Amino acid sequence: MADLLSFPRSPRSDRPRPSDPEPLWRHLLGDQLRRRRHDREETLTETAEKAGVSPQYLSEVERGLKEPSSEMIAAIAGALDTSLIELTSAVADELRSVSASAAVSMSAGPGMFALAA
């Protein structure tokens, strides 16, 4: 009969930790929209009315709960006197910044790999 060998277990704190997941695009979009609306000192109702959406819908977009269509994003951007390209560029820049700081903080040890979808 074979003998069982026990392998030493390393404490959990010594194991490599995966970096925090990247934020979702819709969350960064919502943050950007909220900041721009606050900069204009507008209420949800005022901006929603200009965009032709309900205040509830705009609130859900700002909180990252809705995945708005490009038409809806353009309407909200227009209500905030910005263009779709300016808004999406700002979101992309923020995502690049978040991703770059996560990549720098992640230490790639031997045998570590990442999958991207």
Asked if the structure places residue 65 within a domain, the reply is: yes
pLDDT digits (tens, 9 = 90+) for 91-112: 999 999 887 776 555 544 444 4
Burial of residue 51 (CB within 10 Å: 0-12, 13-18, 19+) is: buried
In a domain, 85, yes or no: yes
The first and second tokens of residue 62, run together, are: 């700002």
pLDDT digits (tens, 9 = 90+) for 3-43: 776 666 655 544 444 566 788 999 999 999 999 999 999 99
Domain count within the chain: 1
Domain presence at residue 13: no
Rounded to two decimals, what is the model's pTM?
0.69
In whole angstroms, what is the distance from residue 26 CA to residue 13 CA? Answer: 32
Give me the CATH number covering residue 89: 1.10.260.40
According to DSSP, residue 13 is labeled: G
Domain that holds residue 96: 22-100
